């Protein structure tokens, strides 16, 4: 609750008479507030205290008869003055209330403007935050894609490296196997001579069947080919092979079975040329 001094200053600034203010404060004592003091002044209660003071002063200076007449006249004049003052104070109070209402409306308007401004600022801040979150999400996806691509590239490089290492290892083993193979005997010289002068050939046909036939050691390989063509009615040219050796060529066809190293027995495979 405001002090009497604070209330007095506020009411003086509003245009109220100091005597009325003091009387109202005296009347209301510790219950005095700005509204209650204005109400006391507006209702005339503060003015009645002034009237009583005037009546007391007037009665002490005149005799009893003059006191009665003058007091009545003074009291009547005081009421007229009081009524006029009440009108003035009522106008002041009305004006002050209008001013207060205008100030409150202006304050409300400013608060509304500030609220809208704060709302716009919050909207902008929210949009900025959402934009930042969206940008962070895009960057996160981009980073994940880059990491996935890098991991995939590492796997592909490792697979390729494994292939190279396997090829190198298999090539080394193949070279070692080739080096460890014994050299083939000269086909022109047979290490084993046929005692009977015959060569027994087991020939595998194109259809997978096998034909076994005995030939003279001196027969050339082309004679064996002619025999097979006659037996199978082949209409195309053929030759023979002894895997893993390459197929015999036309020059080999003119050599004897003994010279080719097919005696005393051998396995041949028919190959279409």
Task: Give per-residue pLDDT as tens, 101-127.
Answer: 888 899 999 999 998 888 888 888 888
3-class DSSP state for residue 246?
A: coil
C-alpha triplet 60, 65, 70: angle, nearest 5°: 65
With a cut of 90, say whether residue 270 has pLDDT above it.
Answer: yes
3-class DSSP state for residue 239?
A: strand
CATH for 198-272? Answer: 3.10.20.90
Number of helical H runs and strand E runs in the chain:
7, 4
- Each residue of 54-65: pLDDT tens digit? 555 554 444 444
CA pair distance 158, 181, nearest whole angstrom = 34
Residue 63 burial (CB count, 10 A): 9
CA pair distance 156, 150, nearest whole angstrom = 10
Residue 25 burial (CB count, 10 A): 20
β-pairing verdict for 198-204 and 265-272: parallel
Contact at 8 Å (CB) between 202 and 212? Answer: yes
Phi, psi of 203, rounded to the nearest 5 degrees:
-110, 125
- Each residue of 118-165: pLDDT tens digit? 888 888 888 899 999 999 999 988 898 899 889 888 888 888 887 887
Q: pLDDT at position 109, please? A: 92
- Delimit the domains of the chain by residue range: 1-47, 198-272
- Each residue of 6-35: pLDDT tens digit? 888 888 877 788 888 898 888 888 888 878
Q: pLDDT at position 73, please? A: 38
Q: pLDDT at position 70, please? A: 44
Hey, which residues does 270 pair with through a beta bridge?
Answer: 240
- Each residue of 196-218: pLDDT tens digit? 789 999 999 999 999 999 999 99
3-class DSSP state for residue 100?
A: helix
Hey, which residues does 213 pair with through a beta bridge?
Answer: 201
3-class DSSP state for residue 213?
A: strand
CA pair distance 70, 66, nearest whole angstrom = 6
CA pair distance 96, 115, nearest whole angstrom = 28
3-class DSSP state for residue 210?
A: strand
Handedness of CA 66, 67, 70, 72 (dihedral sign): negative
- Each residue of 219-251: pLDDT tens digit? 999 999 999 999 888 888 898 888 888 899 999
Contact at 8 Å (CB) between 161 and 168? Answer: no
């Amino acid at each position: 609750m405001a002090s009497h001094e604070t209330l007095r200053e506020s009411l003086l600034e509003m245009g109220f008479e100091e005597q009325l203010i003091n009387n109202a404060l005296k009347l209301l004592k510790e219950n005095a507030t700005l509204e209650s003091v204005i109400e006391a002044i507006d209702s005339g209660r503060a003015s009645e205290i002034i009237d009583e003071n005037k009546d007391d002063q007037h009665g002490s200076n005149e005799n009893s008869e003059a006191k009665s007449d003058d007091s009545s006249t003074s009291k009547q004049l005081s009421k007229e003055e009081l009524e006029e003052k009440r009108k003035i104070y009522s106008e002041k109070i009305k004006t002050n209330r209008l001013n207060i209402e205008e100030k409150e409306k202006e304050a409300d308007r400013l608060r509304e403007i500030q609220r809208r401004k704060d709302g716009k600022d919050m909207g902008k801040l929210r949009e900025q935050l959402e934009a930042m979150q969206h940008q962070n999400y895009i960057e996160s996806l981009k980073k994940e894609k880059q990491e996935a691509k890098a991991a995939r590239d590492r796997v592909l490089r490792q697979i390729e490296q494994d292939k190279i290492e396997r090829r190198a290892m298999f090539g080394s083993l193949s070279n070692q196997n080739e080096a460890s193979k014994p050299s083939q005997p000269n086909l022109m010289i047979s290490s084993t001579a046929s005692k009977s002068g015959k060569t027994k050939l087991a020939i595998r046909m194109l259809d997978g069947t096998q034909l076994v036939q005995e030939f003279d050691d001196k027969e050339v390989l082309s004679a064996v080919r002619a025999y097979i063509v006659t037996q199978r009615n082949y209409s195309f040219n053929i030759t023979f092979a002894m895997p893993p050796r390459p197929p015999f060529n036309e020059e080999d066809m003119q050599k004897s079975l003994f010279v080719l190293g097919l005696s005393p027995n051998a396995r041949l495979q028919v190959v279409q040329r």
